A and B are shown apart, each in its own frame.
Chain A
Amino acid sequence: MINAIALLLGCQLIGEIIVRLVGLPVPGPVVGAALLCAGLLVRRRVSPTLDTTARTILSNLSLLFVPAAVGVVEHRELFLTHGFALVAALVVSTVMALAAAALAFRWVAGE
């Protein structure tokens, strides 16, 4: 558990360092994920503790978005003027994007 947490945090930290040194336009954790991915592919196995830790975190991923979702109320004034247009654009574009991605996947996968 501790080893797995140290590994996750370590990858994130190295990711943040690389982003700052190279000036990459992506967030540090994304680079950290790429590093962990490369490392695990080289070692060709995922340790049981890393598997359990990742599984625990990812099965409760929703929890981590709660503070940001609560923060939406802070900016409700941004919706006073353009509320309808924004909500319409969000709902339609998100549903269309979901459908387009899934249809393209099925079409190319040839089912």
Chain B
Amino acid sequence: MNEALPLWVYLSEEPLTWLTVTVIAYAIADRLAAAVGRHPAANPVVVSAVLVIGLLQVTGTPFRTYFEGAQFVHFMLGPATVALAVPLVQNRVLVRRSFKPILAALLAGSVTAVTCAILIGWALGLPSDVLASLAPKSVTTPIAMGIASALGGIPALTAVLVILTGIIGAIAVTPLMNVMGMKDMRARGFAAGVAAHGIGTARAFQVDPVAGAFAGVGMALNGALTALLVPLAFLLFSAF
């Protein structure tokens, strides 16, 4: 113990430890997801996060220390977003041919996400700063946080709501689409991208490459539309 303690002090502060923990937790979660046939409930984001959170609690490690290692993984979100251009170009004929359904689904999904969230939140008595943090939750974190702070919301709360929305959407999309008898992978993927941004897109790529490509399109388009729509919805809403 006397020798192990300084070693642990070193390891617990070392970014390498927490980077390794993140990757191993994901490897375990991914293997588990594969073992249950990619069942939506075995979502790799949730399983990995639960494993990591458990370890942080047991070792009493603060999130800031954890993130010094995990930031290298987090950083890869940028290049991964750029990489979404590749499946989009590879499926360009299918995407171009689906132009009208894409526009319709974008409008329907985006308006539904924003208005439902605001109306339910308002009916359940959420104050206006929380509503402003909630409204842009279906889009990717940097866009959502920008919208929230412009409307007087709490960007930190928005970041949390965005992640939870992504997880809810990624878990719900497969059973919901099956119940609806939705067989078109373009529609399934696009809906996942519009309603549940990158985490929904990650789920779509696990299910089907065409669904993944359409999810990427949905995520990008909804980011742009929500940036226009949410301030407009807030203007209308506060007029009543």
> For residues 69 through 87 of chain A, which have their beta carbon under 8 Å from a beta carbon of chain B?
69-75, 78, 82, 84-87
A84 to B23, CA, bound (A): 32
A64-B73, A82-B130 given as contacts; is B168 within 8 A of A91 (CB)?
Answer: yes
A70 touches B102 (CB 8 A): no
> For residues 139 through 187 of chain B, which have their beta carbon under 8 Å from a beta carbon of chain A?
140-143, 146, 154, 156-157, 159-161, 163-169, 172-173, 176-177, 180, 182, 184, 186-187
Interface size classification for chain A: 35 or more
Count residues on chain B whose CB falls below 8 Å from chain A CBs: 111
The residue that B48 contacts in the complex, of A26, A32, A63, A106, with Cβ under 8 A, is A63
Count the A-B residue pairs with Cβ separation under 8 angstroms: how many?
Answer: 309
* Overall SS of chain B's interface: helix
> For residues 1 through 60 of chain A, which have their beta carbon under 8 Å from a beta carbon of chain B?
5, 8-9, 11-12, 15, 25-30, 32-34, 36-37, 40-41, 46, 50-51, 53-55, 57-60
Interface string of B81-98 (1 = CB under 8 A from A): 111111111101000001
* Overall SS of chain A's interface: helix
B80 touches A64 (CB 8 A): yes
B180 touches A90 (CB 8 A): no
A41 touches B89 (CB 8 A): yes
Interface string of B110-129 (1 = CB under 8 A from A): 11110011001100111000
A33-B85, A111-B184 given as contacts; is B192 within 8 A of A70 (CB)?
Answer: no
User: A68 — which chain B residues lie within 8 A by C-beta?
Assistant: 74, 141, 159, 163
Candidate in A78, A98, A104, A106 with the most chain B CB atoms within 10 angstroms: A98
A54 to B191, CA, bound (A): 22
